[in-house]
Structures are given as structure tokens and as C-alpha cells.
Amino acid sequence: MKDVFVANKIQAVLPQITIPPDLGTPENVTTTIVDTSARPQDRTTLRKEIRKSNVILLVYSDHYSYERVALFWMPYFRSLGVNVPVVLCANKSDLTGDGNAAQVVEEEMLPVMAEFREIDSCIRSSAREHRNVNEVFFLCQKAVTHPIAPLFDYKEGDLKPACADALKRIFYLCDKDQDGYLNDQEMHDFQAKSFEKPLLQEDLDSIKLTICKAFPDCDVEKGLNLQAFLYLNRVYAEKGRHETIWIILRKYHYTDSLSLEDSFLHPKFDVPEYASAELSPAGYRFFVDLFLLFDKDSDGGLNDQELAALFAPTPGLPTQWTESSFPSSTVRNDEGYITLQGWLAQWSMTTFLEPKTTLEYLAYLGFEAPNAREPITAALKITKPRKRRRRPGRVERNVVLCYILGAPGAGKSSLLDAFLNRPFDPLYHPTIKPRRVVNSVELHGGKQCYLILEELGELEPAILENQAKLDACDLICYAYDSSDPDSFSHIVDLRKRFPQLDELPAIYTAQKADKDKTTQRSELQPDAYTSSINMATPLHVSVTWSSISELFVGLAEAATNPSTAFPKSEEEPPDRTSLYVALGATTCAALAAFMIWRRSTTSA
């Protein structure tokens, strides 16, 4: 308080003191010091203050008070059920001299620390000589801001699993070439990011020397492998330099509980109504680079081992992927491994359906925006809202969703398989749960978009009653089996039961055109029915034909140019917007000419 030793007798319990963050506190935290009394009559107040504390400074000064550390104080703290760090301080060190400092630490402090793991650190001090007084409170602050307990297990003599897992992920993110080593450049980049200062060559040489002594077989010329990286951090913890580990962890967005910050995994990102989310060029670039980096055998596909290595720093595959039977939801090569085309398509679909999932995995996988000041949301972009689907022109979307509706057995699943270039399976497999697939489609003019096809299975009625689901849909593809007389009536019934489907653009397709066409048991035959609502007649297609790809182009074209695929009960009035604009411009020009003429006449 006074920065000088007070020789006079002072009161038994001093009033509470608050140290503001600008007075020598590296972590900029406010520190409140509460003095307590060990007298039995003050035990109630003592218990209350201990339970409120974040750290306990336990001070002794002679043999009697030292003995009470192990016999009374530490068991008493445990009996209260508090789980806070304890800093052990041997005060009045001026009475014992400096010569036996090491002996005091070895004979007094270390045995107690070994018995009670909650003791975070120990220190000798002298209030009379003002020795280590500030350091005592710095240790208390550090015990809270940089606790050792979550990092290191003294009993096992090793890093705790959660800490090791976090450091493994950091190693993965820093190993830019994924060769299993942090080379010199990667070490320099790691140092700059973690500590915001360069790594001196002599410090790097010292680190390598330490690793060589611990692991004689380690090839430090390649760099530090994961084992060496973890060992280095374990040494920091053993030597009481655990604040170094915390600086690293916090720079990589870890909390005190060693979980990633929620604001880092789930940044604010709202998609307005009628708009959608897509990957930005930076997002696509990141996923392209990630794919190429982990395709170790350069075969154009990620096998199971490569995929597992890629997702190592994450909780695993996104839930949506496992529910959609990834990788069967997108493009694979002959060995069944996801291709780059399928990889980008899968992330495009994930971003469209669940942009927050994409942001979460971008955080796990280490996305960094081209501009360091930009947030992680720079990997995504929001499309222009499409409120009026009937307005002529293309919508500004590169990812579109199409529902495939039709009777059971109409060939919807085979259509999805054909979209992914899968061979035709003549065996019928009823679809129970909704199934969606995604692939890229080249539009007329060479522009590429990603088309998501989804069949709804037994949830078809529930989904069609959900307006939010319909708002997210860009196109309806009505599919019927042209060889089954009862197939088309399902579509007619659907449109009667769910009149809201008329608000969506639609295309009609007659599946299984390679089979004999049959008359449909419907009031109107398909061609007459579509003509009655001023729609194009059904497209006759077969998944066994090579021309089936033209259907997918047609679906993508209709989804991106929705005004061409709307059911129309009557002829729409002509759009006179251009006429009104032209008339307005003509009127303004005439008025301006009149004003100029009048001004010139007046001046004359």
C-alpha cells in the first residue's frame, strides 16, 4: 500500500485494496486484495471470502506457520470444496538470509507442492526489504490469467489431453505444407503470429539443440515434428513458463476451458429474407488449396486416409454430411473418392443450406482472409434477395435448389444418381428420408453454377406445408413415370393439395422415356394438362440416355431465370415500365427546353 515497510504495529485485518489494471498488471486486470484473519471467531467471514476468491495467497513466516500449511490450511481449503489456485509465500526471508534460499525451496516448498497439486507456485519475500513483494501479487494474477491446472498434470508429468489436443491443432495449422514438420519459415511465422515479434536465429538454434538432446534421432534439419512441438510446450509447463503456452493458445482463439471461442466458431452472419449465402472467391480458393494440399497421391480424389487427415483439427465430418451419406451426395471418382469438383460442390451446398456450419469449419481448418483485417466471414458472400421470381432476367445466384416431386417409383432416385454420373440400378429402392445431391452445371454461355437436387421421401407433405422450405427452393421439377398409368395423377393431386406450389417456377418431366409410353389415368393427359396452364409440355427423358445431361442444364437455367418456368393461369399484362421511363424522360427534356427558351426570350 505504502511502498515502504511499516515498523509500527498495524491492525490485524487490513481493509480491502483494489489495484487498477494500469498499475503493473501485464494482463490489464483489476486485482482486489482481501486480507483475512485466522482467528476462530472470524471463521465465518474467512469461509465466505475464500469461496469468493479466484486465487489464494497463503503466507507463512516461521516453522509453526509452515507446519500449518500442510496440517490445517490446505485440508481446510479442500473441505470447503473450492477449486482455485494457491500461491505459497515464505515471508520474512530477511530473517533467514539469502544463503539458504535454494535449501528453503527444496526442503520446505517443493514437498508441500508435491503433496498439494492445487499450489500453483511458490516464492520467498521480505516486506522489510521490499523483496519480491510486487512479484508475489504478479504470481497471484498469473495463477488466474495463466492457470497451470488446465495445461499440465503434475502426477503424470505430462500435458493434459485437452491441452495436447489444442496444441496438435495449432501444429496442424502452422504446418502449411503438411509434411509433418515445422520448418524454419513455418517456425518464424508461428513466432510472429503468437508473440508478435521475430524469432531470432540463436533462439531457433537453442530450440533445436534442446530437441536434439531430448530426441537424438530427430531430424531437426527438416524442422520440429509434432512430438518435438509438444515436448517443447511440456518443458515450458514444467519450468513454470506456462504463460507462454497460454499466449499461444489464446492467439489461436482458445478459452480458459481450452475450447475455441464461440465468437470465433460462430461469428455474426445473418442472411436476409429471400437471399442466400455462397462461398466468395476467397472461400473457394481456400477449399481448392486445401484439397490439393491433402491429395498426397495426386490422383484427383481424397481417399479415406487423406480425408481423415484433412478433418483432423475438426470434430469430424459436419453432421449434415453424415446425414446425407457423404461422399455419395456428390461427385466421386471410379474408386469412390470425392473429386475436386465434388469437394467444391459439397461445400457450396453446405454454405447454401447451413452457412454457419461452413463458417465453423473454416475456423477449425484455419481460414485466413486475404486482408488480415477482414473477419472469417470474408469467405462467404450474400446474394441479392430474389423477392419477385416472375420478373424477367437472371437471379444473381451461383447455387440453386430444386425439389424433385413425383409418385413413388417415378424415377426420382435414378435421376439423382444420373446427375452424379452413377450407373443405372434397375432395382427399386424406396426413398424414406429426404435425399439431396449436388453437382456443377455449365449454363449456356459457359457460366457455371451448382445445382442441388432433392427428393423429399416420406416427408414430402410436411416439407411442402413449410413455407420457409418453399422460400428456399428455386425450382420444382415434377417427375412422372411415362410407362405407369397412375404416375401423373400424383402430380395433379399435389398441385391441388398445395396451391402454394404455383408460386414456384416449375418444369415437368416424363421419366423412363426408353419404355413404352402409356395413357395416364388422369382427367387430362400430361401434354394437355401443361398446355392448359400455359406451361411447356413435359420433357421426355431417360436416365439411360446420354442426353440426360441436357435436362440438368435445363433445370439450372430455369432456376437461375425463374420467370421462364412459371405456371400461368392467364396472360400476364405487358411490362410498361420502360414505356413509363421513356415518357418521363421525354417530358423532362421538353420542360428543360421550354425553360431555356423562356429565359433567352426574357433576357432579349
- Same domain? For 427 and 560 the reply is yes
Task: Output phi, psi for 7, to 5 deg.
Answer: -80, -25
- Same domain? For 303 and 373 the reply is yes
C-alpha cell at 2: 505504502
- What digits encode the pLDDT tens for the residues 302-344? 999 999 999 999 999 999 999 888 999 999 999 999 999 999 9
- Same domain? For 474 and 546 the reply is yes
Give domain status of residue 579, yes or no: no
Give the model's pLDDT for residue 23.
Answer: 62
CATH label of the domain that carries residue 544: 3.40.50.300
Which DSSP state fits 499?
Answer: G
- Same domain? For 273 and 308 the reply is yes
Average pLDDT, the chain: 87
Give the model's pLDDT for residue 207.
Answer: 92
Q: Where are the beta strands (DSSP E) in 354-398?
A: 380-382
- Same domain? For 324 and 469 the reply is no
Last residue of some domain: 382, 415, 446? Answer: 382
- What digits encode the pLDDT tens for the residues 537-551? 999 999 999 899 999
**CA-to-CA dists, residue 451 to 74, 401, 441, 561, angstroms:** 65, 6, 7, 13
Cis upstream peptide for 147 (omega within 30°): no
C-alpha cell at 17: 485494496
- Structure-model confidence comparison of residues 437 and 589, the more confident one: 437
Contacts of 396 (CB under 8 A, 6+ apart): 383, 384, 386
Give domain status of residue 353, yes or no: yes
Give the model's pLDDT for residue 131.
Answer: 81
Give domain status of residue 345, yes or no: yes
- What digits encode the pLDDT tens for the residues 282-297? 999 999 999 999 999 9
Give the model's pLDDT for residue 102.
Answer: 67
CATH label of the domain that carries residue 174: 1.10.238.10
Give domain status of residue 585, yes or no: no
Cα–Cα distance measured from residue 381 to residue 384, given in angstroms and rounded to the nearest whole number: 10
Residue 199: domain span = 158-259
C-alpha cell at 432: 424414406
Cα–Cα distance measured from residue 71 to residue 65, given in angstroms and rounded to the nearest whole number: 10
Could you give the number of structural domains in the chain?
Answer: 4
Cis upstream peptide for 216 (omega within 30°): no
Helices 281-294 and 340-353: crossing angle in degrees, nearest 10, is 140
Rg of the chain, C-alpha, whole Å: 36
- What digits encode the pLDDT tens for the residues 31-72? 888 988 888 888 889 999 999 999 999 999 888 989 999 999
